[in-house]
Amino acid sequence: MKHEDRKGRKHCTYGRSVNKVSILHVGIPTFKLVVQNRFLIYSDTIQADISRTFRNRGYRTKLCNRVQSVRVIFQTKMPIAKDRISYYYDAEVGTSYYAPNHPMKPHRLAMAHSLILAYDLHKYMEIYRPRKSYMYELSQFHAEDYINFLSTITPDKQHEHAGMMQKFNLGEDCPIFDGLFEFCRTYSGGSIDGAVRLNQGLSDISINWSGGLHHAKKSEASGFCYVNDLVLAIIELLKHHARVLYIDIDIHHGDGVEEAFYLTDRVMTVSFHKYGDMFFPGTGAISDIGENSGKYYSCNVPLHDGIDDDSFCDIFKTVMKKVMDLYQPGAIVLQCGADSLAADRLGCFNLSLEGHAECVNFMKSFKIPILVTGGGGYTKSNVSRCWTRETAALLEKELCEDIPEHDFYYQYYSDGEYKLKVTPTFAIENLNTKQYLQSVKNLVLQNLSSLDHAPGVQMQIVPSDTVIPEFDENSVKTAERWSTSEFVYRDDEFY
Q: Which residues are catalytic?
A: 215
Nearest to 229 by CA among 116, 97, 140: 140
> Rounded to whole angstroms, how far apart are CA atoms 125 and 206?
10
> In this structure, what are the phi and psi dihedrals at residue 30, rounded to the nearest 5 degrees?
-85, 0
Nearest to 336 by CA among 421, 395, 394, 250: 250
Nearest to 366 by CA among 207, 491, 247: 247
Which uninterrupted H or E stretch holds 447? helix 434-448
**β-strand partners of 245:** 268, 332
DSSP tag of 463: P
How many CB atoms within 10 Å of residue 226? 27
Nearest to 110 by CA among 129, 126, 89, 131: 89
Question: Can you count the helices (H) and strands (E) in the chain?
Answer: 13, 16
CB 263 within 8 A of CB 296: no
> What b/e readout covers 70-103, taking b as 16+ CB neighbours within 10 angstroms?
bbbebeeeeebeeeebbbbbbebbbebebeeeeb
**β-strand partners of 40:** 14, 71
> Rounded to whole angstroms, how far apart are CA atoms 317 and 186?
33
Strands of 50-189, DSSP E: 60-64, 69-73, 85-88, 126-129
> Rounded to whole angstroms, how far apart are CA atoms 76 and 464?
34
Alpha-helical runs (H) found in 328-425: 353-364, 380-395
